[in-house]
Amino acid sequence: MNDLASIPLLQAVGWTLIHSLWEGAVLALLAAVALRAARHRSAELRHAIASWTLAIMLLLATVTLAWVYRGNDPVSAFGSLAIAPILENKTDVAWATQLRVILGPWIPWLFAGWMLGCTFKLVQLARAMAWLYGPCLGSIEPPPALWLARFEMLQKRMKIGRPVRLGLSDRVDSLLALGWLKPVVLIPAAALLALTPEALEVVLIHELEHVRRGDFLANVLQTFAEALLFYHPAVWWLSRRIRQEREHCCDDAAVQACGDPILYASALARLEELRAQSSRYSDLAPAASGGRLMSRIQRLLRPRTAHDLATPIIVLGPALLLVAALGTVTLSASGPVKPMPAATASADGTAKASGTSDSPVEMEFSKIKVKHQPEAPAYPADAKAARIQGTVVVVLTIDTKGKVVDAKAESGPEQLQACAVDYAKAWTFKPAKVKGKPMYAKFKLTMPFRLR
């Protein structure tokens, strides 16, 4: 090992591994604080925080490697730089010399261990890719024509530009999205029998959301980063969190599309019953039943947080990550009625009139920001006695201050409409703006009533 210790690249990699331990720990600590602060924000924001932290961790290790390889002293350049002025010795300090003496002989062993571990991880990645694009993709069969037509309609509805194939496979035990340039959504044959058409359609929306977001490519890059930084506990934690929030993002999209979290949660639970105990593709190809399924189901049935398009603020520095702006308003729904805001009055959310009280602007609910959502009302006694349940769609009109000025039930069981309208009137919103100007706005609120 003495001969190897003199190789500049080996020395640079070894010291980079050492410095990456504290660099990654600092970044992970900042990310943990930011994720805690963003716990009531959208899953997209938390996913961005965790993903950018992992990316900056890898970037910082690369910068450190370049710095040390250029001939800079790996100890004084990083370790003693901050405290040298305090000790009034700007060339070297005693502890830095001792550190160099203690760690120096271990550098070749660190390099060898990293090479072995990294090679093992990359071989695992290559084997998983070979299985996905070999036996898995080679065994697919076309689904029934009816589902091909429904799948094409879902693609158009989600505005996915590139074509996506749909196939049945006996090699998978859950729906999964595979590929980036030519994506494929695979369905286990048993799912066609085990799931109702509505449930299967909503989990297909989940997989199409993975395709729309480019999650397969992101997952491959993430797995590559994990291989390079496999030795760091912070990377293990960040990777788990990224995959968890990635599934949450697609869960939110599926629930928003169907308007019924109970239907979607039931579909996930049914898929879990079909899934085998182990899965060799779960960490590489995004799957509908991936992640910690029970926590995902519990999250779907808890009160939801309004989604905001705020972007995390990142300060580019050697070991600093600044995350998250202020939190959005938490929607606190509880009780037997779990209202889920859904869908839309107009296709593009643009004005159909001038935005006055007589002709409000018709908008999508996703463009409206909730200021306050009251607690869910008690289930109507007469409807409960008659075992009546269903979904009520209420059309709301708000003024330029975000106050509800009109609420009318558009559809749903008559016995539930009065309760839904009264409940909808108690909401308050932030003013709807068109080109920065507050306008009267009209949109739809979908509220499912379910008996327990």
Domain residue extents for the chain: 1-328, 361-449
Q: For residue 120, what are its two tokens?
A: 């093992």
Q: Is the pTM of this model over 0.85?
A: no
Written as tens digits, the pLDDT of the chain (452 aa) is: 445 555 777 888 888 888 889 899 999 999 999 999 998 888 899 999 999 999 999 999 998 888 888 766 556 555 444 444 443 444 444 555 566 667 767 788 888 899 999 999 999 889 988 888 888 888 888 888 888 999 999 988 888 888 899 988 888 878 888 888 889 998 888 888 888 888 888 889 999 999 999 989 999 999 999 999 999 999 999 999 999 999 999 988 888 888 888 888 888 888 777 765 444 444 555 555 455 666 676 676 665 544 444 444 443 333 344 433 333 332 232 233 344 444 333 434 443 445 666 688 888 877 788 888 888 788 888 888 888 888 888 998 999 888 999 999 998 888 889 998 998 899 888 898 888 888 898 988 888 887 76
CATH architecture of 361-449: 2-Layer Sandwich (3.30)
Crossing angle of helices 293-301 and 261-274, rounded to 10° = 170
Taking alpha carbons only, the member of 297, 292, 289, 238 closest to residue 262 is 297
Q: How many CA atoms lie within 13 A of 135 on its CB side?
A: 8
Q: For residue 449, what are its two tokens?
A: 């009533």
**Strand partners for 184:** 165, 178
Q: For residue 413, what are its two tokens?
A: 């069981």
DSSP symbol at 195: S
Taking alpha carbons only, the member of 209, 103, 110, 223 closest to residue 164 is 209
